[in-house]
Amino acid sequence: MEKEFPFNAFFDPENSNNTNDFNSLHSDFNELPKHGNDSTNSPTTGNQDLEGNDLEQLNKFFSEELEKTISPQKYNTFFKSTFCISAVKDNNIEFSVTTPFIKTMIENHYLSILKSLILQVLGEEYEVSVEVVIPTKMSLSSNKNNILDSINLNKSKSLADEIRSESLKRSDSVKDHTFRLDLHPSADDLQKKVESKVLAHLKDIHFGQLIDPNKTFDNFVIGPSNNMAYATAVAVSKNPGKAYPCLYLYSRSGLGKTHLLHSVANNIKRFHPQLKICITTARDFMTEMIEAMQQKKINDFRKKYSESIDVLMVDDVHELKDKPSTQNEFFHVFNELHNKGKQLIFTSDKEPKEIVGIEERIKTRLSWGLVQDMQPPDLETRIAILKQKALKEDIYIPDEVINLVASAIKNNIRELEGSLIKLAAYSSVFQVDIDTEIAKEQLKLNDFYDPKCINLESVIKAISSFFKIPIADLKSKSRSKDIATARHIGMYLSYKVVQSTYSEIGSFYGKRDHTTAMHAVEKIKKQLKTDARLCSSILEIENSL
C-alpha cells in the first residue's frame, strides 16, 4: 500500500511536544514517494486533504512557529486573527486572510518566510496561494471569530441559512445585533488601530516574580544620566551579596530602573544559577502577605522570604508607605537577609529620606547601602535609545524624525519608545513613509514642542542662572575655582549642544584661544565618566535650555 503523510501522528496531542516523535515523523515522511519523480509511484489522490481538527491543529502549530519567526508588531498586524491555512490539497497549501491589503502585504513580503516554515513543519516544499475570505460569523458568535468558521460555513450552507440558524439558537432576536462587513475602513478606524498598538507599551507592566528575559545589560542604553547606576548594577550581578549588599536605585518613572533590576536578575541567573532570586513589587509583597494572613500561613510567608531567598529585589518600594503591617514584615525580612549576607536591591521614585509614610527605621535601612539616582537621558542617549528600539522592532524611521522625537520627549524613556511604536504602526497601517510633518501630527508635537534657538548666548544664560554667577564673570579673566568650573561647563555645552567650533567658543568666553576651549571640553568629558554629581548638574542645565 502506498504511504501517505502520517497526519494522525503529527496531530496526536500526546506526540505534539515530543521531539523524538517529531523527528521520527520527518523520517517517515522522507520515505514517501515525491511528486514529480515517478507518476506510477505517486499516490493517485496526492497528499491527504485536511479538514476539521487536523486543519485546526496545523493552524495552531504553524501560527506558533510564525510568531517566533517575525517581529511581534508585524505578526499582530498581518497574521494574528487575520490569517490561517484554509486547505491542504495535493501539492498546494491555501492560506486565507481577511482583507485584500493583508493579502498584498503577505504576497509581497512574507511568501519566502511561509515557504520556509512549510518546509520546516511538513518536510517538503508546497506551492502557496493566498485568498481573501470575509469572516461572515464575526458579529454572531464571539467565540467563533476566525477565518476557519467562514471557510467551513461557505462549504456547508449559505449566509442567510447560517444567520437564521444562529438566531434560532439564541434567546434574543437578530434585531438586537449589528451585522456589518467593512471592506474599506475609514481613516478614523485605521487611526484607532494605530492608537491601540501603543497602549500595551505605555502600560507600566510588572512581571511579579518572573524575570523578564528581554531586559538585559546588552540592550540597556548607557549615557551620562545612568552610567553610575549601570556600573553598580553590573558589579552587583557579578558578586551578589559582596560588592554592594544593599543597592537602592531611584528616579522618576520610565527611566530604566526596572530594566536594570531585571538585567541584574538575568546576569545572576546566568553566572550564579545556584542562587535563588525573588523579584517582586512592594504591592505584590503586600498582597502576598495579606493572602498568607487570611489563609493562616504567615509563618510560611516569613520562612519563604527569610530562609529561601538569596537575592531579594523589590520594585517601587515607596508603595509600602502608609501600610504599617506590611512595613513591619518587610523590616524583619530586611534584617534577616541583611544579617545573612544576602543581596538586597530596591527601586523607588525618590531617595529613602524623601519617602513620606514610611517608618524611620526602614528609611535608615534602605540608606545603609549604595543609593544611586538615575536622571533623564541627554539628547544623544535619547537618540541612541530610539535607534536601538527601531533596530529591535525592525522599524525604519528617518534620522530627522528620530532627532525630532528625541528633542521633544525628554523625561520618560517609556514614552519615548511608545512614540516610535506609534509612528511605526501609522506607517504600517496607512502604508506611508514617516516624515517630520506626520510625526508632529501623530505625536501632537505642535501642541507643546516649540523648538528654541539654542545658541552660545542661551547656554551662558543657563550657566549663569544655575550657578548664580554673573555672565560678566564667566567671560572675565577670573580663575577662581567656582567661576572656572562653571565656565568649563558652559564651553562643554556650547560644543555639545550648539555645536560651535572651539574658536567660536573661545572667542565668546572672553576672547580666549581655541586651545582653551578644547581643554575645557576634554576636561569635562573626562570628569563625566566618574563624577555623578557633575552628570546630574549638566543634565539639569541641558534640560533647561
Over the stretch 196-249, which tens digit does the pLDDT of each residue have?
544 444 333 333 457 888 899 998 989 888 999 999 999 999 999 988 999 999
Percent of the chain with pLDDT over 70: 75
pLDDT score of 50? 58
Instruction: Assign 314 to helix, strand or coil.
Output: strand
| Whether the predicted pLDDT of 403 surpasses 70 | yes
- Residue 106 near residue 171, CB atoms below 8 Å: no
What residue has cell string 556600573?
A: 231
Higher pLDDT, 80 or 151: 80
The fold of 7-133 is: GMP Synthetase; Chain A, domain 3 (3.30.300)
CATH architecture designation of domain 227-373: 3-Layer(aba) Sandwich (3.40)
pLDDT score of 188? 62
- CATH number, span 456-544: 1.10.1750.10
pLDDT score of 167? 44
Q: Which of 79-88, 139-148, 237-246 has the lowest mean pLDDT?
A: 139-148
Mode of pairing for the β-strands spanning 311-315 and 83-89: unpaired
How many angstroms separate the most distant Cα atoms in the chain?
101
Higher pLDDT, 100 or 8: 100
Kind and range of the H or E run holding 20:
helix 19-30
Question: Cα separation of 232 and 118, whole Å?
Answer: 47
Please compute, for residue 283, the number of CA atoms within 13 A of its CA located in the half-sphere on the CB side: 7
CA distances from 477 to 226, 301, 323, 485, 520 (A): 35, 67, 58, 13, 15
Instruction: Assign 482 to helix, strand or coil.
Output: helix
Question: Cα separation of 372 and 359, whole Å?
Answer: 21
| Averaged confidence pLDDT in the chain | 77
pLDDT score of 452? 54
pLDDT confidence tier of residue 122, bands split at 50, 70 and 90? confident
Q: Which of 21-25, 50-54, 191-195, 527-531 has the lowest mean pLDDT?
A: 21-25
Q: What is the pLDDT of residues 3-23, one digit of tens each?
A: 455 555 444 444 444 444 434
Higher pLDDT, 199 or 342: 342
pLDDT score of 151? 47
pTM: 0.50
- Residue 145 near residue 81, CB atoms below 8 Å: yes
pLDDT score of 17? 45
User: Phi, psi at residue 114, to the nearest 5°?
Assistant: -65, -45
Q: What is the pLDDT of residues 449-468, one digit of tens each?
A: 444 567 899 999 999 999 99
Interval 245-273 mean pLDDT: 92
Helix (H), strand (E), coil (C) string for 375-392: CCCCHHHHHHHHHHHHHH
pLDDT confidence tier of residue 109, bands split at 50, 70 and 90? confident
The grid coordinates of residue 399 equal: 534620522
The count of other CB atoms within 10 Å of the CB of residue 182 is 9
Interval 519-524 mean pLDDT: 93
pLDDT score of 342? 94
Amino acid identity, residue 417?
E
Beta bridge partners of 247: 345, 370
Q: Which of 316-330, 381-395, 511-525 has the lowest mean pLDDT?
A: 381-395
pLDDT score of 144? 35
Beta bridge partners of 95: 85, 130
pLDDT score of 393? 76
pLDDT confidence tier of residue 516, bands split at 50, 70 and 90? very high
Question: Cα separation of 239 and 237, whole Å?
Answer: 6
pLDDT confidence tier of residue 135, bands split at 50, 70 and 90? low
Q: What is the pLDDT of residues 455-503, one digit of tens each?
A: 899 999 999 999 999 999 999 999 899 999 999 999 999 988 887 888 8
| Whether the predicted pLDDT of 34 surpasses 80 | no
Higher pLDDT, 193 or 399: 399
Question: Cα separation of 499 and 497, whole Å?
Answer: 5
| Whether the predicted pLDDT of 158 surpasses 50 | no
| Whether the predicted pLDDT of 148 surpasses 80 | no
Q: What is the pLDDT of residues 345-378, one digit of tens each?
A: 999 999 998 898 999 999 999 998 899 988 888 8
Q: How remote is the C-alpha of 233 from its chain's centroid?
A: 20
Please name the residue ranges forming H helices in 367-480. Answer: 379-392, 399-408, 413-430, 436-442, 445-448, 456-467, 471-474
